[in-house]
């Protein structure tokens, strides 16, 4: 969006995944092709001073981590 001139860098909220922890561990390692019962992800979110925090929180809770998908933040 910045490259296309639709937004400036100050309008964007950059989100970068910094870690992902999940999997089903066994004594021999991790089981492949088995969905874990729990997983965690860490994200670095840089919020510009001009961002609407209520809108950002609503976006996270409804789009990125909706309770309907058993996700929390």
Residues 56 and 13 sit within 8 Å (Cβ to Cβ): yes
- Can you give the pLDDT at residue 43? 93
Token digits of residue 47: 């919020």
How much of the chain exceeds pLDDT 70, in percent? Answer: 100
- Angle (CA) 63-67-69 rounded to 5° is 80
Per-chain mean pLDDT for the chain: 87
Confidence band, pLDDT 50/70/90 cuts, at residue 37: confident
57 token code pair: 């929180």
């Amino acid at each position: 969006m910045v490259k296309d001139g639709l937004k400036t860098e100050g309008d964007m909220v950059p989100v970068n995944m910094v870690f992902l922890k999940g999997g089903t561990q066994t004594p021999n390692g991790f089981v492949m092709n088995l969905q874990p019962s729990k997983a965690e992800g860490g994200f670095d979110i840089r919020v510009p001073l001009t961002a609407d925090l209520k809108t950002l929180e609503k976006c996270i809770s409804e789009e990125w981590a909706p309770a309907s998908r058993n996700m929390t933040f």
